[in-house]
Amino acid sequence: MTKTAPDILRIAVAQLNPTVGDVAGNLAKAREARADAARQGADLVLYTELFLAGYPPEDLVLKPSFLKACEKAVQDVANDTADGGPGVIIGTPLKRRSGTHNSIVFADGGKIIAERYKLDLPNYGEFDEKRVFQAGPELQGPVNFRGVRIGIPICEDIWGDIAVCETLAESGAEILLVPNGSPYYRAKIDVRHQIVIRQVIETGLPMIYANQLGGQDELIFDGASFAIGADKTLAFQMSQFEEAVDVTTWKRKGDSWVCSEGPMSKIPDREEADYRACMLGLRDYVNKNGFKNVVLGLSGGIDSAICAALAVDALGEERLRTVMMPYRYTSKDSLKDAEDCARALGCRYDIVPISEPVEGFRHALTQLFEGTQEGITEENLQSRARGTILMAISNKFGSMVVTTGNKSEMSVGYATLYGDMNGGFNPIKDLYKMQVYALSRWRNSHVPPGALGPSGEVIPKNIIDKAPSAELRENQTDQDSLPPYPVLDDILECLVENEMSVEDIVARGHDRATVTRVEHLLYIAEYKRRQAAPGVKITRKNFGRDRRYPITNRFRDRG
């Protein structure tokens, strides 16, 4: 006798924070989430892309022992479903005769009932899947789960030109469930919604989009899982930057499925989202790599101040040590501002003067430098002395050094190798200077969810209001060497994010000489950026994963 197809299906979306390579830990997370979903009455649990491996696993999938560990974890997941609880759709790499695939395994009733392989492998920006995975040999149809035909495209399968979703619909799929590893950049949620709406229009089927959460090196996965109903409206919306296992209820209405119950979380605005991305990225980098605490140079400037705030929010005041390293050019304002910032955040604050080491270097180089004029070389000695002190503290106490340079400075090389560029991770690496100011003002008025830091003004107003300066010579300001930051940032966004020509940037109202100078500085600083610490990706095109220009490069746009 044939079972009657159900009229209600409860689907749990497991929006979790896996760790790449921690197969046992990810399996434990999956089991805990399934138990939670079972308590909530779920029939099925949808996990994210390559969940058991962590995403992106990169060259780990070339290692046979890693694939073997993932395969065992998959079988463990399948065995768990023998308890009669929820079925499972979980992502994992699988090595089969047709190659190593980015796959999902569908398990129910104590066994694997289906495997599906990703067809469209992304190979742009931060993605490099074609190098380590083989595309699925052919599109397989929907999976019959307890009388419901479920189509399972995997991430890029809904973004690219391959008609995966349409084919699944034509093969009888009733609903589409999509596991994803979609990294954050500003306003990415809107892009995802539009991609899914397009597929819903083309197929007439509702689609559930489950997205990974957490920081993985430079990438931030922001969660924000959601569904679009067959009527093209938002069926549910999960939270951004927060782990969750939410059960959604779907009811059969005629030939379609309609979501009758699910979360409808508010999505943060731009400043909050960027700040929380930076906070999550720093927290996960420090914790997943086993650092107990962090240290940074607190100069009294805006960049180090916001990094200190992010560190306290991400890790707690007891895990941050700040160090002021004054020299003869350090102003009284900077000394006061740094101390006020540390006091507001409640973190440790030490003062280590650098006069002796700097003068020692200068003395050692006196004979070699005889007859030359003082300039950038002597300025950089100050920065490198500070970098050495921070690295010494790191070595002695096991603290990771937080690097504090913004994207505007790194774009044009306004940073010192083996000096202020020292460190393990940079939470503001992909924020332009004006964005740093905007986020600082935002943080003084808000405490983001999950933050461990205090409320109120944590970045003193004077730090935000005063002219930025490296303080490496008397009365120095950044604008002595660079265009005003609003001008510089606009030019850089045109060059870096949008790949615009000099002619088009000038047409926006910028001075041609300034634009060509910024373009030149951008190109010649590539060698510095190759040696920079990793940092959170916030924009569509960050340095490193997204923008890969040659170091040796004589091209200049003179059109």
Question: Which residue numbers belong to the known binding site for L-glutamine?
Answer: 124, 182, 188
Catalytic residue among 29, 118, 288, 433: 118
Query: How many angstroms separate the CA atoms of 81 and 430, rounded?
Result: 43
Report which residue type is found at 552: T
- Cα–Cα distance, 384 to 228 (Å, whole number): 53
The whole-angstrom separation of Cα 207 and Cα 192 is 12
Query: In what helix (H) or strand (E) does residue 277 lie, and over which residues does it extend?
Result: helix 270-288
**CA 444 – CA 440 distance, rounded (Å):** 6
Query: Angle between the 433-445 and 485-492 helix axes, to the nearest 10 degrees?
Result: 110
**Which residues, 6 or more positions from 75, have their beta carbon under 8 angstroms from its beta carbon?**
112
d(CA 439, CA 340): 19
Q: Which of 49, 129, 156, 174 is catalytic?
A: 49
Report the sign of the C-alpha dihedral through residues 131, 134, 139, 140, in that order.
negative
Q: Binding-site residues for ATP, please? A: 297-304, 404
Would you call 284 helix, strand, or coil by DSSP? helix
Reported as type and span, the H/E element at residue 194 is helix 188-203
| Residues, the chain | 559
- Written as one string, the DSSP assignment of 464-523 is HHSPP---SSTT--GGGTS--HHHHHHHHIIIIIS---HHHHHHTT--HHHHHHHHHHHH
The two tokens of residue 75 are 């079988």
Q: Cα–Cα distance between 457 and 328 in angstroms, integer?
A: 29
Of the candidates 29, 70, 155, 218, the residue annotated as catalytic is 155
Measured in degrees and rounded to the nearest 5, phi and psi for residue 186 equal: -55, 130
Given a contact cutoff of 8 angstroms between Cβ atoms, the answer to whether 236 and 260 are in contact is no
The whole-angstrom separation of Cα 458 and Cα 8 is 50
Is 49 considered catalytic here? yes
Report the alpha-carbon distance of residue 134 to residue 532 in Å, rounded.
32
Token duo for residue 256: 């379609």
Show the tokens assigned to 247. Answer: 């059960």
- Reduced to 3 states (helix: H, G, I; strand: E, B; else coil), residue 21 is coil
Question: Between 376-397 and 355-364, two packed helices, what is the crossing angle to 10 degrees?
Answer: 120
User: Are the C-beta atoms of residues 152 and 113 closer than 8 Å to each other?
Assistant: no
Nearest CA to 495 out of 480, 506, 481 is that of 506
- Look up residue 166 and give its two tokens: 């349409």
- Sole residue written with tokens 């944590």: 458
Sheet holding 244-253, edge to edge: 111-117, 99-108, 87-96, 44-46, 8-15, 244-253, 256-261
- 519 is an active site residue: no
| 307 in catalytic set | no
How far is 545 from 127, CA to CA, in rounded Å? 8
User: Residue 108 is encoded by which pair of tokens?
Assistant: 């129910």
The tokens describing 365, both together, are: 């180089």
Known catalytic residues are 49, 118, 155
